[in-house]
Amino acid sequence: MHGRPKPAVHITYKNSAMNRIRLILIVSVMLLGTGLASGQQIPNLTQYVFNDYLYNPAIGGIYDYYQVKTNYRHQWAGISDAPKTYMLSAYGPHKTMPMGYGGYIFSDVIGPTSKLGIYGSYAYNIKVSGDIRLSMGAFVGLTQYKIDLSATDLPQSDPVITQNGSNYTKFLPDGSLGLYLYTSQYYGGVSVMQLFSNKIETIESDSIDYKSVMSRLNNHLVLMGGYKYNINRDFDIEAGSMIKLVKGSPVQVDINVRSIYQKMVWFGVNYRSGDAVSLLAGYNYQDMLYLGLSYDITTSELRNYTSGTYEIMIGVKFNKIKQSATRRKIR
């Protein structure tokens, strides 16, 4: 559900029928906007299997080539001010050393709140046995949390406005660590995100009931794994899963299966516990340019208010710069 359950209380903006804004919720949503009931604070991607680097920095050094990928996700279409997420990543190997570099930027917008981040990564991998390799990596970055106060119905005389102007902004450092074991057929990884467990203080307002409190960015443990089975010269089947665990929140499980035809066209389905069933499709043009599309059919209570969630992924693979028989191929 993009980590965002049904809101526990409402947010009001200018020209809204609601009569006030509750900034404690806004800041909770902003942290990446998950709502108070979940505790999940990192974005979900239905097509995570095509850009798993965003969840595990160790993946930044396992391929023989550089690649650039972008994702756009429109959450809960039909609901006003619903979340929209943009991501752009680039990563690849050192030419001669068993290591890789990369980075990504992302923007997550929910009504007047937004989160903007930039991260860099380093990964080092070693041979374990045969074609089995282990990669170890880290993300380090900076994240901006922002509220557009001009889009709320707070009066200009409110201390929130007089002290912060039209925008409330907070910058915080962030980091992640990851391990990734892989071969040409199967893979498994574990990572810890929001490593620093930063605290953010919500802002006081004379116009609301709430006072200033501390909100913590929780550590997120992310587990992933998958296996590819070759049926014949034309067809492959790949199954994978991602599990997210965070203190105080239900375990979130994604399970996906897809069929790949001539390593060029794929179709699949993804199930996210308590949230959605998703349809996926993609195309790989000459092992260089690839496109992925997905549509989430909402299964939670929000299904009565939204037509679903849409996501698109575009990727570009550059020429191989390192020769290795054990490195993973394009999915």
Q: How many CB atoms lie within 10 A of CB 27?
A: 22
Locus of tokens 């993973």: 328
The whole-angstrom distance between residue 20's C-alpha and the CA centroid of its chain comes to 31
Which uninterrupted H or E stretch holds 159?
helix 159-164
User: By the 8 A CB rule, do 244 and 220 touch?
Assistant: yes
- Give the per-residue pLDDT at 301: 83
Question: Which residues of the chain fall below pLDDT 50?
Answer: 1-39, 208-214, 325-327, 329-331
Of the candidates 252, 316, 271, the residue with the CA atom closest to the CA atom of residue 290: 316
CA separation for the pair 192, 176 (Å, rounded)? 6
- The angle at the Cα of 156, spanning 151 to 158, to the nearest 5 degrees, equals 105
User: By the 8 A CB rule, do 152 and 12 touch?
Assistant: yes
User: By the 8 A CB rule, do 50 and 313 touch?
Assistant: yes
- Give the per-residue pLDDT at 52: 93
Model confidence pLDDT, tens digit, residues 2-14? 444 333 333 333 4
Which positions ≥6 away from 201 have C-beta within 8 Å?
212, 213, 214, 215
CA separation for the pair 306, 295 (Å, rounded)? 12
- Give the per-residue pLDDT at 202: 56
Compute CA distances 298 → 253, 272, 295, whole Å: 15, 10, 9
CA separation for the pair 232, 169 (Å, rounded)? 55
User: By the 8 A CB rule, do 190 and 182 touch?
Assistant: no
Query: Which ranges of the chain does DSSP label H, i.e. alpha helix?
Result: 23-30, 159-164
